[in-house]
Amino acid sequence: MIGWNGRWLVGALVAVVLGLWPGTSQAGKLESVRSEVSGSSSSSSSSSSSSSSSSSDCDDDDYYSSSGSGSSDALALSARLPKRYRHYPYEGGTRDYVFVPRPGDTKARLRAAQVWGEGAWQGRGLWRSGGGLRIDGQVLTLDGDLSYYLEPAANDALYLGTLNLGFVPIKERRAVLRFGGGLNTMIDGRVPGEGHREYALGWNLTTSFDLFPTWPVVISGRLDGGRLYEAWMGRARGTIGVMLWRMEIYGGYEHTQVGRVGLGGPTAGIRLWI
């Protein structure tokens, strides 16, 4: 059950999402994206803006502070142990996601994963749905995502996605930071006969983070920049979520820029920590 603090955060999140709701968009925006990617645009487009949960779990601070005269030996040994991931943030009443295991603890995980699905209405006539997967290791991280844009008024659809490989330079109790690079992709979503189908590839640089300030809150952000064939492409997003066991319910804002065409709006979704 979520306490009053959790309910207040959910209410505040809904208010922020409604406040950031974008204005109306014009039909034909996805065709403008294709023009930017192919380099054939002749007119400017408006830009819109771990261990299992049991009684033996404890925080690292509590464990080492209670180690007595052997605390210095425990700290010296822990410095040589890799930091591990919990099965999900705040597991078993703890106050973090990454932790240093006790000496001899073989149940903590060296790798962790997240899978999510989300949706957004980006103004009249333009919808977006998407999903993704991330796998974090001790050093390396792999992530991929795909968004489906639907514009019923123009009988048009388009996929935009990324696939990235990177590393995890910061992995602390309440923060994980990632850097990486990979590919941008565009896949035409129109049915055959609705127009010339176009596909494109490009390169991408990305950075993302997850913060765990206090139960049940998770704050996440991401910033991408790169190319999609002939067009510069970038993305910025930020979300705030609340944990319900392994499931995080989140909301926020995402903006994707392809050349001079902006695709942005509030988003909401569910992320499963596995």
> Are residues 44 and 64 located together in one domain of the fold?
no
Q: Residue 224: which CATH number?
A: 2.40.160.20
Report the C-alpha gap between 205 and 215 in whole angstroms.
31
> Are residues 144 and 204 located together in one domain of the fold?
yes
For residue 7, is it within any domain? no
For residue 105, is it within any domain? no
Question: Which residue range is the domain that position 65 belongs to?
Answer: 60-99
Report the C-alpha gap between 37 and 187 in whole angstroms.
12
Tell me the two tokens of residue 206. Answer: 């990305």
- Strands (E) in the chain, as ranges, are 84-85, 98-99, 112-121, 127-136, 140-151, 156-172, 175-188, 199-211, 217-228, 231-244, 247-258, 261-273
* pLDDT tens, position by position, 19-71: 444 443 445 889 999 999 988 764 444 433 333 334 344 444 444 444 444 44
Tell me the two tokens of residue 158. Answer: 């388009």
* pLDDT tens, position by position, 228-264: 999 999 999 999 999 999 999 999 999 999 999 999 9
> Are residues 190 and 126 located together in one domain of the fold?
yes
Q: Whose CA is closest to 215, among 59, 50, 102?
A: 59
For residue 106, is it within any domain? no
